Structure 1
Amino acid sequence: MGCLFGYCGRPSKGLLNRMAKILKHRCKQGWEQERLTQSNDHVFEIGHGIPMWSSDSQVGKISERNTAFGYSGVFFNAKQVVHSETKSASEILDAMKNEPENQLQSLEGVFTAAFACEDKSFLIRDPAGVKVLYWTLNRERLVFASEIKALFADTSVPRKMRMAALPEYLTFSFIPGERTMFEDIYELQPGTTLKYQQGKVSLQRHFVFENAEWDGKHPRAEHDYAEQVRSDLEISVRECCAVNNNGMPPSVFLSGGIDSSAVLAVAANQFPGVPIKTFSVHFGPRYANENEYVSMMAERYHTDHTWIEIRPSNFIKRMRQIIWKLDDPIGDPITVPNFLLSEAASRVSPLVLNGEGGDPCFGGPKNIPMILSNIYGQLPGESADSWLEQDYLFSYRKCFDDLENMLNPDVLKASGGREALAAIITPFLKSAVPRQFLNKLMTINIRLKGANLILVKVDKMSSANGLLALPPLFSKRIIETSMACPPNLKLVGNVEKGILKNAVEDIVPYPIIQRPKSGMMVPVRFWFRGEMRRYAKKVLSKKNLSRAGFFNIPYVRSLLNYDKSEIQSYRCGLKLWMLITFMFWYEQMAERRSLYMSD
């Protein structure tokens, strides 16, 4: 719940109402709007879905100054930046009398915002990209919304799938960067300001965390860096908890890993004697789980814990609806646990903390193979121009090595093939800043995987359930502090997240500190051998695949019987999940079947 939508440019009667109708799953408390006439043929209209966590109006205008402002989310430093004691949009706007553009760029928190003054309009996304905003420029009208589908409420916006997006999706499991599945529809990137004036758009990235990289001079003791990380985490958790006006602690999503355990430990110490409600998922006794470590944390901090067992029978009838709420296809199976966790947590609190950010900000285990590639160099047969980029794409372990088998040759050719995919990564690896290779990898993880996958899926799944999900480990200060830490403190030999572990070793049990990351492995490989086999065959039928026209049908159909054929079964379950997710997205969004969907 909670969303932002609107437009600036030529007036369009009823457009805001149509957008709100499409976003009704995020406007269950109702919605508010504001309109500013900038000239005879130019207006700024903005709508906001009212959230459960705030009673403050988040849209407002000052007619005599010809300004309007709206936002979705929360600000942590509005008092310091605009000297406003309130969260009301009108009062924040009133306080932004001098250099409003600079003041907007200085705001920290979890938000998207829109601002208009005189003949200019601005869109802005929070530094890490926790909240999401899409935009398109069409016929002298800039249209924006928290979900892509709402942009099509403007019937003049063309709905044309971008052919290069399908190989991107199959390689990454999400669409990286500012492009989306549609031509001429964009995702505003984290820490970026969009300026719209006289029918033209310009973009400025104002949060450039790479500049905080340690320069190799004046090294500090390791414990000093650990103390800084601990202090920043405590401040970030405190800021997140302050969103709850009732003084009660938020809920916490608890996985049993170091990241969510650190967040819970800090939050529990800030609310001594008050049981925190925690939630975690597992997939039943047959499959690997982290229940032992979840229980360890829940017992140590005396939480009120809820277990959620996830089986296909729990969600299979709702899968189309869940994918519809994702908006852009995301092929990570963890989206379903994200949705069901959010659904359960929303019944007890409108606010939840999670552990997202630990891997991107502190050097997770997937960086190690890339560091080895960089050390040992190009292997025989690899492209001389982009071997390192292609190694990176292989490291996602999705479908990059299988694109020629999965896609029609015409589709792959039209998309630019592997070289076009490698070109997405090249600017990050070739950039002069950051200098250190680990920090280059972390920059990719923060700006692409973090902002376009991790944070987007959590935002979509939590907002669909009226929940505000906050990641203390993905705050602006944590990102900058991590970049300022020497790489050898983040990745200590083959031990990932070393400095984070040192920072919380006194509040997180040793078995959690010392164990390697295992990750939440959704058992799709086994589900498609059993409960989901018939379902997959129906969705990926020859008729459906032929209608879409993108895939090599015999090969895709062979994946359905991976346990009975000569095809290598490793990752086949994940590939099937990604294909099903895409087919639902294509049916709902590209074929125009489901702009509206009831709950």
Structure 2
Amino acid sequence: MADLEFPTVQLEPGTLRTPALRSRIVPGIGIDAAPLQVDCDHCTIHGRPLVSQHDWQEVLSSGQLGAVTGAFAIVWRHKGETWLARDALGERTLYFHHAPDGVIAGSTIRDLLQSANVPRQLSIDAIATYLIDAYLPGRLTMIAGIEEVLPGELVRIPANGPIARTQIWEIPPEPREFSSESTQVLELRRSLDQAIRRCLPDDCSLPIAASLSGGLDSSLVLGLACRARPGEIASYSISFGTQYANELPFSSLMAAHCGSRHTIVEFTPESIADGIAPTMAALSDPIGDPLTVPNALLFRYVSATSSVMLNGEGGDPCFGGPKNLPMVLSELYGPPTIRHKIQSYFRSHLKCFDDLPAMLHSRIRDRYSQERLEASLLPHFENPRYQTLITRLQAMNIQLKGGHHILPKVDALSRMSGMLARSPLFDRDVVEMSFRIPAQGKLHGSVEKWRLKQAVSDVVPEAIRKRPKSGMLVPVEGWFQGPLLPIAKQWLLDGLAKRDIIDRTYLERLLSHQLGGPRPRHGVKIWLLVALEAWIQTHLGDGPISVV
């Protein structure tokens, strides 16, 4: 592959000091509660844009909220009842607390915590789930008593009586029959082209950006966007320095291939350390993905010149990414019990599932129930709508990881920089189309995303289509043995250890890289716990915190 030269800029500490917040749903209770609040982006119904509160009131009056496409969270109050709803895939977040004197709802947990009606207590189930998954799926949040509205869910909370929940949109079932391979490729390509056009702003004068990792998903989004708006797209790749493994040759190849104005943004360990607290402060629940802080820093950098940034999120959940392979092997060679499959799913996240008995502090260890966490996944593994493992995992990954990790993350991080993040591969039509592709079209032997690669063969160079996925390589293992070890000790030994949540001896062994085992993954686990402590500190402060 030929060397390609693109400008590289190095981001210094202090980038996230002055966030410019986008609009959001602000909590209110009783007479202080607004009758209708909407947080939305590029929403339409039957092709008609929804641009005013009057438009939304018409949608609610006609009972057609399930037909709305685009990103939205909405709260309205009528005859003493509170109603809450969230878009189909979860591009916008919505949380609520049912207090004795009313319902408090808002776009962020931080907003809800400003109310004296919300207890400031951590949930033991949420802590354990986060340590396993690195995010919180489902209604569970880190704060006991606060619930998250599910993607595609309508929640009705009467003044007196039980909460009622219905789905205004559901992930499609697995079809009994499939169209021909060529038809699938054509229909998928049509869906992708339309999704890209929907994500591009109508105002052609607005500068448009796209993140570019060098993988298939971000490459195809950039390529299709450049075809729709030739010469108008600026692309950005992340680097951590030439001393670390990276995907820059592939991102540079794609940028040159489609003619985008490309910039490589390099993050120093110091800029990453400086961004931890403000990034975790922007998240409603902690996210332990090491890319979270670099993503936030990239949004802040790009916000100086663009207001909309496209991304390639959604390719793995919808089209059969590499994280399905461990589950396939477990299905082939492991015991055929549901419990084994659930435990294999937990282990596939490569975090702390097997560490929990040793890492949880004795104060809360006895209240942790592995069986309770396994039971929360049982409905997904027993869902009769999906006959094949690959499609069942697809539905789970879209609903859980997509709606509670990926999309909330890009929404929160773009929000703090005043930007709009748009994810064409999570477009509702693209997601629905992905379920009309059989399992062997997603995992073709050992080739991932087979049908997706066929659909964009004229857009993405062969070198990118045929390369194995590696993911963005954040060098946490090296950082926590060198420049970031002192700050990790500060976060964990001076902070988290004093909360009696994680055993101090475990933390000391982790920081000394002495956990043992075939794949200890010290750096990933240190980052996971640093993110947890930073989230607790920025949301609840330094004082004692109860865990229930």
Which residue is 2:44 aligned to? Answer: 77
Is residue 508 of structure 2 the alignment partner of residue 557 of structure 1?
Answer: yes
- Paired with 1:97 and 1:407, the residues of 2 have a C-alpha distance of 46
Is residue 412 of structure 2 the alignment partner of residue 478 of structure 1?
Answer: no
Is residue 259 of structure 2 the alignment partner of residue 302 of structure 1?
Answer: yes
User: Secondary structure of 1:415's partner?
Assistant: coil
The letter for the 1-side match of 2:203 is N
Which residue is 1:392 aligned to? Answer: 345
Is residue 203 of structure 2 the alignment partner of residue 245 of structure 1?
Answer: yes
User: Secondary structure of 1:124's partner?
Assistant: strand
The answer (yes or no) to whether the contact 2:307–2:420 under 8 Å persists in 1 is yes
The answer (yes or no) to whether the contact 1:76–1:239 under 8 Å persists in 2 is no
Higher mean C-alpha deviation, range 369-378 or range 532-541 = 369-378
User: Secondary structure of 2:155's partner?
Assistant: strand
How far did residue 530 of structure 1 move?
Answer: 0.5
The letter for the 1-side match of 2:37 is G
CA offsets per residue over residues 338-372 of structure 1, 9 Å max, x none? 10110111111111110000000001111122122
How far did residue 575 of structure 1 move?
Answer: 0.5
How far did residue 406 of structure 1 move?
Answer: 1.1
Which residue is 2:9 aligned to? Answer: none
Gaps of 5+ in 1: 1-23, 36-40, 47-67, 595-599
Which residue is 1:511 aligned to? Answer: 463
- Alignment match of 2:115 (pick from 138, 143, 154): 154
Which residue is 1:45 aligned to? Answer: 33
- Paired with 1:496 and 1:338, the residues of 2 have a C-alpha distance of 25
The answer (yes or no) to whether the contact 2:75–2:84 under 8 Å persists in 1 is yes
- Paired with 2:257 and 2:185, the residues of 1 have a C-alpha distance of 23
Question: Within 5 Å, which residues of 2 pair with 1:231-270?
Answer: 231-241=190-200, 243-248=201-206, 250-270=208-228
Aligned CA RMSD, in angstroms, stands at 2.4
CA offsets per residue over residues 531-563 of structure 1, 9 Å max, x none? 01111112222x53442011221121111111x
How far did residue 378 of structure 1 move?
Answer: 1.3
How far did residue 324 of structure 1 move?
Answer: 1.1
Which residue is 2:13 aligned to? Answer: none
Is residue 495 of structure 2 the alignment partner of residue 544 of structure 1?
Answer: yes
The answer (yes or no) to whether the contact 1:244–1:351 under 8 Å persists in 2 is no
- Paired with 1:499 and 1:369, the residues of 2 have a C-alpha distance of 21
- Alignment match of 1:575 (pick from 514, 525, 544): 525
CA offsets per residue over residues 312-361 of structure 1, 9 Å max, x none? 11131332122111231111111011101101111111111100000000
Which residue is 2:128 aligned to? Answer: 167
- Alignment match of 1:192 (pick from 153, 158, 162): 153
How far did residue 523 of structure 1 move?
Answer: 0.6
The letter for the 2-side match of 1:405 is A
Percentage of matched positions with identical amino acids:
33
Which residue is 2:165 aligned to? Answer: 203
Change (3 A) 1:75 1:121: farther
Change (3 A) 1:402 1:86: closer
Is residue 390 of structure 2 the alignment partner of residue 423 of structure 1?
Answer: no
How far did residue 31 of structure 1 move?
Answer: 8.3
User: Secondary structure of 1:262's partner?
Assistant: helix
How far did residue 528 of structure 1 move?
Answer: 0.4
Question: Within 5 Å, which residues of 2 pair with 1:374-453?
Answer: 374-378=331-335, 386-416=339-369, 418-453=370-405
How far did residue 522 of structure 1 move?
Answer: 0.7
Question: Within 5 Å, which residues of 2 pair with 1:132-147?
Answer: 132-147=93-108
Which residue is 1:87 aligned to? Answer: 51
- Paired with 2:518 and 2:183, the residues of 1 have a C-alpha distance of 49
State the TM-score, normalized to the length of structure 2.
0.90
CA offsets per residue over residues 218-240 of structure 1, 9 Å max, x none? x3221110111111111111111
- Alignment match of 2:66 (pick from 105, 121, 126): 105
- Paired with 2:446 and 2:499, the residues of 1 have a C-alpha distance of 44
How far did residue 250 of structure 1 move?
Answer: 2.1
The letter for the 2-side match of 1:206 is I
Is residue 81 of structure 2 the alignment partner of residue 116 of structure 1?
Answer: no
How far did residue 497 of structure 1 move?
Answer: 0.6
Which residue is 1:339 aligned to? Answer: 296
Change (3 A) 1:568 1:579: farther
Change (3 A) 1:403 1:374: same
Which residue is 1:351 aligned to? Answer: 308
User: Secondary structure of 1:280's partner?
Assistant: strand
Which residue is 1:585 aligned to? Answer: 535
Which residue is 1:178 aligned to? Answer: 139
Question: Within 5 Å, which residues of 2 pair with 1:279-294?
Answer: 279-294=236-251
Change (3 A) 1:524 1:34: closer
